[in-house]
Amino acid sequence: MIYIRTKDNAVHAAWVVTAITAWFARDPLHLVVTNATESHRLIRMAVNSGLYVMMAVQYSIRAYKLLLPAFALPAFALPAFVLVVFASGCATQRPNTSLAAIYNPLAQRPDYERNPVIVIPGVLGSRLVDDETGKTVWGKYDRIRFGRQQSDDLAVVSLPMGQGVPLSQLRDSVRSDGTLAYLELSVFGIPVELQAYNQILQTLGVGGYRDPSHPKADEFNYGDEHFTCFQFDYDWRRDVAENAALLDKFIGEKREYIRAEYESRYGIIDAEIKFDIVAHSLGGLLSRYYLRYGSQPLPEDGSLPVLDWRGASNVERLVMIGTPNAGSAFALRDLVNGHQLSRILPYYPPAALGTMPSLYQMLPRPRHQTLVDAQDPDQAYDFYDPELWRQMKWGLSDPQQDAVLQELLPEVADRESRECIALDHQRKCLLKAKQLHQALDIPAAPPPGVTLHLYAGDAIETPAVMSVDTETGKLEVAKSVPGDDTTTRHSALMSEQPVEAVSTRPASPIHWTSVMFLHTSHRKLTADPVFTDNVLALLLQSPRHSPSSVGEPLHRQPLEWIP
């Protein structure tokens, strides 16, 4: 047994490990440990009260000494013990049973009386698998990591780079393999689950929407007639416009599937199919691009695609949840500093994140003066400019990232060549982000019958403006405004007013049909019962513009929405 000597007593080192584990696991940035597998449920129930003892240990060696005589566990067992107990204390509650009572009658009605729903997750929300090895490179971890330990799959999860090669042609063997209702993590051999997008599926489950492909579909009380809920998984690393083209193909496939089911189940031939889309975070940007431009790519010459609302012909409602329509300061921070999802998951350095075009496409708009000089706040910078990134030594431009570049570009022997490839890739990503933003920011109303709905948080001070020390390139938060701790209210609305301004009619290029603000954080928006109640009222009770193809016309009480 290992000991740590103190003035009065010898304390088992295992207690120190336990304290650190409890501290680091207590509040992951974006993911919440929800529950262990069924085989460990009784263990968690038996030791649940021990959580409070374990959390107390982190605060002082004195607490260790008080608890020491009562336990004789081996050191390696205690961290696992803490995490199993911790997992039980963070289990996500199911939607309120009273809401199920409200919507159950509507939930039992056949699917042809509602639009099919497509759920689109945000960044990190789809599992990524390497086809060459069959290994999951994002969505499953076999061990916890403390400190800033990098992923073992860094070279695989990063996108390839090639000087002079368009981003659309830089391909690897990694593909998406389903949305992440849960993120799997193995802790000392004990499997636990980190919640990802299961809350959205639970919400839709209350309304009777069913996706048979969901691994835990049987948890929800669905009728036998429900089959029109789908999850669109995509490679969230890649360009938004590329994924919009895949969404167009996905919608075409699901439309034919539903038509075949309608014909076999109800005798409806060639039904008119309109989809409702429920999209979280980056998924909202993808959906907005799809409505405006369909499957059109962003032209390689830097021009803009034709705004023809091609995708909107397939969609009736778009529900966006916490979408950073005007970008997020955290995208800039992470591209500069790297990111660690939680204190027990791997650290992804700036060079690895810098290979992913989608992260640049979540940057704020320079015209909103979201990056200013630390010494002169009136001096704003254009972070679409690749030269700024080179001067500040940010991301792929940082010479200290060469060790990572050696891992990402093992075939490139000399440092100068690696630097040229990295700078070229960063330049292409920045210009592609500017091009996407220009395409999304054109003021335009959607076609009649297509509605846009926003659910966003505004109760937490959220970074909105970053300042940069031009001598060191270091970033600091210069201003915070109401938001959900990730996306500001200003960004969600896509307001063209100053970030701190409050107006009765915020100027926005997005023609919102309804907006609802929730007093909760980004990761908890979809767990809020107010969200559950209102999104189900929207999907199940608001009038449909597309006609019913069978039976009597639908008579639903129209709802009034906040303009």
276 close to 234: Cβ distance less than 8 angstroms: no
4 close to 18: Cβ distance less than 8 angstroms: no
The predicted model gives 160-177 an average pLDDT of 96
pLDDT above 80 for 240? yes
Token pair for residue 486?
A: 């990730």
Comparing 153 with 493, which gets the higher pLDDT? 493
What pLDDT does 28 receive? 38
Q: Give the burial class of 56: count Cβ atoms within 10 A of its Cβ; 0-12 exposed, 13-18 middle, 19 or more buried.
A: middle
36 close to 87: Cβ distance less than 8 angstroms: yes
In this prediction, residue 88 has a pLDDT band, given cuts at 50, 70 and 90, of very low
The predicted model gives 130-145 an average pLDDT of 82
**d(Cα 328, Cα 370) in Å, to the nearest integer?**
9
What pLDDT does 86 receive? 32
371 close to 328: Cβ distance less than 8 angstroms: no
In this prediction, residue 228 has a pLDDT band, given cuts at 50, 70 and 90, of confident
Q: Where are the domains of the chain?
A: 100-123+199-212+221-331+443-541
- Range of weakest confidence among 62-66, 101-105, 293-297, 498-502: 62-66
What pLDDT does 199 receive? 63
Average pLDDT along the chain: 77
**d(Cα 289, Cα 296) in Å, to the nearest integer?**
9
pLDDT above 80 for 39? no
The predicted model gives 147-166 an average pLDDT of 88
- Range of weakest confidence among 116-125, 250-259, 378-387: 116-125
The predicted model gives 127-156 an average pLDDT of 82
The predicted model gives 520-525 an average pLDDT of 88
Most confident of the following: 137-141, 263-267, 549-553: 263-267
What pLDDT does 179 receive? 81
pTM of the model: 0.79
Please state at what angle helix 198-206 crosses helix 529-541, rounded to 10 degrees: 50
What pLDDT does 543 receive? 73
- Range of weakest confidence among 108-117, 347-356, 394-403: 108-117
What pLDDT does 259 receive? 93
The predicted model gives 18-23 an average pLDDT of 45
The predicted model gives 203-225 an average pLDDT of 54
What pLDDT does 142 receive? 64
pLDDT above 50 for 31? no
Residue type present at position 473: G
Residue type present at position 516: M
In this prediction, residue 225 has a pLDDT band, given cuts at 50, 70 and 90, of low
Most confident of the following: 99-103, 219-223, 275-279: 275-279
What pLDDT does 87 receive? 35
155 close to 408: Cβ distance less than 8 angstroms: yes
**d(Cα 544, Cα 549) in Å, to the nearest integer?**
12
**d(Cα 497, Cα 318) in Å, to the nearest integer?**
24
- Range of weakest confidence among 225-229, 308-312, 465-469, 483-487: 225-229
pLDDT per position as a tens digit, 418-442 = 999 999 999 999 999 999 999 999 9
- Range of weakest confidence among 33-37, 199-203, 337-341, 367-371: 33-37
Strand order in the sheet with 315-321: 229-231, 117-120, 275-280, 315-321, 451-457, 514-518
pLDDT above 90 for 49? no
Please, what CATH class does the domain formed by 100-123+199-212+221-331+443-541 belong to? alpha beta
Taking CB atoms within 8 Å and a gap of at least 24, the contacts of 301-304 are 302/431, 302/435, 304/435, 304/438, 304/439, 304/442
**d(Cα 150, Cα 173) in Å, to the nearest integer?**
21
- Range of weakest confidence among 34-48, 127-141, 386-400, 422-436: 34-48
Distances 144 to 29, 36, 337, 343, 483 between C-alpha atoms, Å: 15, 15, 21, 9, 31
What pLDDT does 323 receive? 96
For strand 126-130 and strand 136-138, is the pairing parallel, antiparallel, or unpaired? antiparallel
What pLDDT does 178 receive? 86
Distances 522 to 80, 86, 195, 360 between C-alpha atoms, Å: 29, 22, 13, 20
**pLDDT over 90 for what percent of the chain?**
53
pLDDT per position as a tens digit, 378-420 = 999 999 999 999 999 999 999 999 999 999 999 999 999 999 9
DSSP assignment of 334-392 equals HHHH-EESSTTS-EE-HHHHTT-HHHHTTSPPGGGT-EEESS-TT-B--TT-HHHHHHH
Place of tokens 């940035």: 29
What pLDDT does 390 receive? 97
- Range of weakest confidence among 93-97, 127-131, 302-306: 93-97
In this prediction, residue 163 has a pLDDT band, given cuts at 50, 70 and 90, of very high
Token pair for residue 68?
A: 């020491």
For strand 140-141 and strand 182-187, is the pairing parallel, antiparallel, or unpaired? parallel
What pLDDT does 148 receive? 66
Collapsed DSSP state (helix, strand, coil) of residue 473: coil
pLDDT above 60 for 561? no
Helices (H), 146-239: 154-157, 198-206
Token pair for residue 497?
A: 């007013």
pLDDT above 60 for 326? yes
Kindly report the backbone phi and psi dihedral angles of residue 524, in degrees, each rounded to the nearest multiple of 5, phi listed first.
-105, 5
pLDDT above 90 for 57? no
126 close to 176: Cβ distance less than 8 angstroms: yes
351 close to 408: Cβ distance less than 8 angstroms: yes
In this prediction, residue 207 has a pLDDT band, given cuts at 50, 70 and 90, of low
Collapsed DSSP state (helix, strand, coil) of residue 560: coil
**d(Cα 335, Cα 333) in Å, to the nearest integer?**
6
pLDDT above 50 for 464? yes
The predicted model gives 356-372 an average pLDDT of 96
In this prediction, residue 151 has a pLDDT band, given cuts at 50, 70 and 90, of confident
Q: Which residues contact 306 (CB under 8 A, 6 or more apart)?
A: 293, 296
pLDDT above 80 for 81? no
